[in-house]
Amino acid sequence: MTIRGRLMDGKPQVRVRVRYADVQLPIWFLVDTGAARTTLLDGDLRWLELDPRSLEPLPNSIVGFGGPVRSFLLRHAELVFTTTDGHYQLPHNLCAVQHEIVRFPQPIATRILELPSVLGRDIIDRFRFVYEHATGTVLLER
């Protein structure tokens, strides 16, 4: 089973359909071997139209750009990967973060909202990760 990603602006990314509550949308995740957890960032949290007030706060704080961020746990989420064999569904408790955007000047706030969500080692470690910049190869294999 192989999940094919692509290079976007020179960064390896994988498209994942996120299912949570009544929401199901595709999101491009940056494959980030430096991130311990798979985490939805501000822009994708908005894209999913999830109201942070309705989400469960994470007991441990996460530090983002400019300091601590509000962090949440999306229990019973599901990640659905398109594979060479069809689809691979992975139940997973996702993290999500929300920066206090109003604290930042507009150009920085815009850049924060454009940051991709990250696919962390909690997911990557379940696969063989193949990344070859010269050929544009991005694969997760089982």
DSSP state string for 36-102: SS-EE-HHHHHHTT--GGGSEEPSS-EEETTEEEEEEEEEEEEEEEEETTEEEEEEEEEEEEE--GG
Task: Check residue 105 and give its pLDDT.
Answer: 85
Q: Which fold has domain 2-141?
A: Cathepsin D, subunit A; domain 1 (2.40.70)
pLDDT in tens, 115-141: 899 999 999 999 999 999 999 999 999
pLDDT in tens, 79-90: 999 999 999 999
At residue 30 the predicted structure's pLDDT band, cuts being 50, 70 and 90, is very high
Helix, strand or coil, per DSSP, at residue 34: coil
What are the residue ranges spanned by the domains of the chain?
Answer: 2-141
- Predicted TM-score (pTM) of the model is 0.90
pLDDT beyond 80 at 62? no
At residue 53 the predicted structure's pLDDT band, cuts being 50, 70 and 90, is confident
Q: CB of 8 within 8 A of CB of 23? A: no
